Amino acid sequence: MHTSKLVNQLAPSATIAAAAKARELRSKGVNVLEFTLGEPDFTTPVHICDAAKAAMDAGHTHYTPATGIPALKAAICAAFERDHGVKYTPAEVTISNGAKHAIHNVLAACCEPGDEVIIPTPYWVSYSALVELVGAIPVLVDTTEESGFCMTADQFRNAITDKTRMLMLNSPSNPTGAVYPVDALEALAKVAVEKDITVLSDEIYGKLIYEGYTFRSFASFGDEVKARTIIVDGVSKAYAMTGWRIGWTLAPANVSKAIDTLQSQETSNPCSISQYAAVEALNGDQNCINEMLVHFQERRDYVLGRLRAMPGLTFADPGGAFYAFFNVSSHFGRELPGGVTVDNASDFCTALLEHAHVALVTGDAFGAPGYVRLSFATDMDTITAGLDALEKFLTT
């Protein structure tokens, strides 16, 4: 049977593929130390789970409006004003089946075939794939470790052509953990207004910020910026709710209307029970975020300290999220354990998995050859054992 050319051109998600390789080895009895998936290892907080149970007991198990229940839209607006001082109305909110679905909605609603979408690298593996899926063209702008993996305003301006439709921005970043300084974000915002470019600001990690760093929502730089900004967010990362599949967009009313129309044809509605749980997540006690962040900070500091002590590794300190993204290219071309020699990050990750039983994700998938990503969203025992194995792999 015939299958779509656009879909056939898509590469599978590298993070999911890396996790699958780890599971395959584990099924053979190998103790794999896994650092592949971007998923908090904490259980969803009790008060949120209790709200879901209460919703089921109350009979909220039927269809909801296609773009989400009014209570959740109101909670999202209230939380955004509370956290960022920016007002949105429920008509500017669309609730979707996770942030990835929200991103696809934005691209499908706003981009035409042949439009260009600027993406700073390194970037989350799904960005370019989702752009291509709607027939648009990803324009990759390389950033460097020395810049903290942040695109400059000049780079942004120089990448703009008469076909540019959108900038996709992610701060804090997956895979680097980079948090754009406020002045750097403001400079990008000025270019967006000057050139009249829409900005999709993926802020899913916005609550996971470490000491010494500041998060600023892109929509908070004034009305002209807000009018050109589409916020993507959700409950997955900050509230350990990855499996509940609730994300959303905050966008100008005409864009939200287009997204609403699209989503009404795609899906009947986001999960009803998950929506009621998300209401509690946003309206309820926020201390659960701080409690998780204490553990993430401890793990981050330990991981960075260990990596600094290993030969030939370099990185920019992550200011948010839960990733360490480090350069392993100094080990290309030399013999590693098992007698293997590698010349790229993908082969490095394969050798590390097969001979040290440590699972990382190659930076090749993120548009950053020579780098690998380690997710420290796991327990300290696993982190310690994994870094011990990595150090041995690099020094044997």
CB 299 within 8 A of CB 376: yes
User: Do residues 241 and 281 lie in contact, with contact meaning Cβ atoms separated by under 8 Å?
Assistant: yes
Instruction: For residue 373, report the phi and psi dihedrals to the nearest 5 degrees.
Output: -115, 135
pLDDT digits (tens, 9 = 90+) for 79-125: 999 999 999 999 999 999 999 999 999 999 999 999 999 999 999 98
Q: Are strands 323-327 and 314-315 parallel, antiparallel or unpaired?
A: antiparallel
Burial class (CB in 10 A: 0-12, 13-18, 19+), 186: middle
Contact 120, 103 (CB under 8 A): no
Task: Report DSSP letters for 274-342, one per residue.
Answer: HHHHHHHHHHS--HHHHHHHHHHHHHHHHHHHHHHTSTT-EEPPP-BTTEEEEE-GGGTTSEETTTEE-
In the block, residue with structure tokens 């201390």 = 287
Report the alpha-carbon distance of residue 89 to residue 76 in Å, rounded.
Answer: 9
pLDDT at position 210 is 98
Residues found in the chain: 396
What tokens were used for 189?
A: 């915002």
- Would the pTM of this model clear 0.85, i.e. be above it? yes
Confidence at residue 25, expressed as pLDDT on a 0 to 100 scale:
79
CA distances from 87 to 29, 74, 233, 283 (A): 53, 11, 15, 16
Query: What is the spatial distance between Cα 235 and Cα 301, in angstroms, rounded to a whole number?
Result: 25
Give me the residue spans of the domains in the chain.
5-43+288-395, 47-283
Distances in Å between the alpha carbon of 302 and those of 226, 306, 339? 38, 6, 30
pLDDT digits (tens), the chain, 396 positions: 888 887 887 777 777 777 787 888 778 888 899 999 889 999 999 999 999 999 999 999 999 999 999 999 999 999 999 999 999 999 999 999 999 999 999 999 999 999 999 999 999 989 999 999 999 999 999 999 999 999 999 999 999 999 999 999 999 999 999 999 999 999 999 999 999 999 999 999 999 999 999 999 999 999 999 999 999 999 999 999 999 999 999 999 999 999 999 999 999 999 999 999 999 999 999 999 999 999 999 999 999 999 999 999 999 999 999 999 999 999 999 999 989 999 999 999 999 999 999 999 999 999 999 999 999 999 999 999 999 999 999 998
What pLDDT shows up at residue 21?
79
Second-level CATH architecture of 47-283: 3-Layer(aba) Sandwich (3.40)
Q: 5-43+288-395 belongs to which homologous superfamily?
A: Aspartate Aminotransferase, domain 1 (3.90.1150.10)
**pLDDT tens figures, 97-110:** 999 999 999 999 99
Tokens read off for 270: 């986001």
Same fold, 5-43+288-395 and 47-283: no
